[in-house]
Amino acid sequence: MTAKNLSILGSTGSIGVQSLETARKCGYSVSALSAYSNVDIIEKQIREFHPKVAALADENAAKDLKLRVADTDTKVLSGLSGVCECAAEPTADTVINAVVGIAGLRPTLTAIDCGKKIALANKETLVAGGQLVTGTAREKGVDILPVDSEHSAIFQCLQGAPSNRALKKIILTASGGPFFGKTRDELKNVTVADALKHPNWSMGQKITVDSATMMNKGLELIEAVWLFSVAPSKIEILVHRESIIHSMVEYDDNAVIAQLGLPDMKIPIQYALTYPERIESLTGELDLAKLTTLTFYKPDHDTFRCMDVCRDAITRGGLYPAFANSANEQANLMFRRGEIGFLDIGELTERVMNEAPKVQSYTADDIDDADRCARELVIKYAKKR
Ligand code: NDP
Ligand code: MG
């Protein structure tokens, strides 16, 4: 079913703003908007899209917003419960979760409980809680459509395949980020500004740093395991510098199917909203004759350890991925604040991932506990350095 009424969580961020551009172009109405604390942007969005409800997770910012939009019909809520109410807004048929980080987990679970279609950009939710999220979605008959460009590509390459039986492997492409080709020695003293210079994509700061460490590709490997029910051993990472092929699948008969397009997130956002239909795009056309080359490289696993940390975490299962995710969220934040070095992100993430308790299954509360514990460990180990 094509989306008609949207609830957009994380509306002030990179994916949130592009989701609203898509809504504007496709003529979808917006029933709910939420963010963390960006009052200026969400106020403008409320005045343009007239949602029934809006929420800011930060209580003080929500108080300010309430005063600013008192002349509108939008109800303003606050805190995590407010964001979850946006996910549950009865007039919305589709929830776009574009929150950054594990903060997106409860709103995703709320949206599933309410039977909404979910367009998921918030990969951390699947990384930390994949078993819970996909299990609950299956029980409720809820579709989770990928917004992440690689997963949108894989989803498209799998259309028409009868089952995963003949799927030999998924080839997850990676741009390689700003530090492609560098040695660990050369990465010792890189700055936050260096890490924020992504060659192909303009994104929020957390994911841009994740791309520089290649943790992003590790998170995406775990995301693919849950979205497509494949074993981690069937997912291969391939560096493709141009970000034109967004990922590929290879079948048992050695046929390889790829999805290509310009690196523009509005393409996968729109597809998640119009699936199974396709409509004209806001974005430019891919002119293959103008591309002189498409290049491919094996990733450098010694320099960019985070990919293997994530592969190890999902192979061990249980709460290992949740520990890896939250340790990385904390270390990524501390790097951006100038508190630790670039290489410390991967080292701390690996060390803390290894300390996850061994469990078979978990609840949302267990993930919250894992989140707290992993962050505390990162802070403790970072102090000792
Ligand atoms: P941004 O940092 O640009 O935006 C994050 C959004 O989440 C903002 O609206 C922010 O609000 C909100 N937010 C932050 N913390 C909380 C919280 N605790 N509770 C509620 N809302 C919160 O991130 P991106 O748009 O880049 O990324 C969003 C997600 O999409 C991430 O999971 C990322 O991995 C994924 N993704 C992003 C891509 C991209 O191109 N940007 C590509 C593929 C996936 P505020 O502005 O008020 O802080
Ligand atoms: Mg991606």
The answer to whether the pTM exceeds 0.95 is yes
Q: H helices then E strands: how many in the chain? A: 16, 11
* Percentage of the chain modeled with pLDDT above 70: 99
CA of 246 from ligand 2 middle (Å) equals: 8
Task: Name the strands in the sheet holding 245-251, side by side, starting at the edge strand that comes first in the sequence.
Answer: 235-239, 167-174, 245-251, 256-260
pLDDT tens readout for residues 53-88:
999 999 999 999 999 999 999 999 999 999 999 999
Predicted pLDDT of residue 385: 79
How far apart are the C-alpha atoms of 95 and 117, rounded to whole Å?
Answer: 6
- Which residues make up the environment of ion ligand 2, defined by Cβ < 5 Å? 148-150
pLDDT band at 230; cut points 50, 70, 90? very high
Among candidate residues 144, 149, 152, the one with its CA nearest the CA of residue 126: 144
Q: Does 1 score more than 70 pLDDT? A: no
Ligand nearest to the CA of 218: 2
State the Cα–Cα distance between residues 305 and 314, nearest whole angstrom.
15
pLDDT digit string (tens) for 304-353? Answer: 999 999 999 999 999 999 999 999 999 999 999 999 999 999 999 999 99
Q: Which helix (H) or strand (E) holds 172?
A: strand 167-174
The pLDDT score that the predictor gives to residue 199 is: 83
8 band by pLDDT with thresholds 50, 70 and 90: very high
Mean pLDDT of the 141-151 span:
98
SS3 for 214? coil
Q: Between 20 and 199, whose confidence is greater? A: 20
Please tell me the distance between residue 203's alpha carbon and the centre of ligand 1 in angstroms. 9
Pick from 99, 201, 243, 283 the residue to mutate for probing ligand 1's pocket: most ligand atoms within 8 Å of its CB: 99
pLDDT tens digits, one per residue of 359-382: 999 999 999 999 999 999 999 999
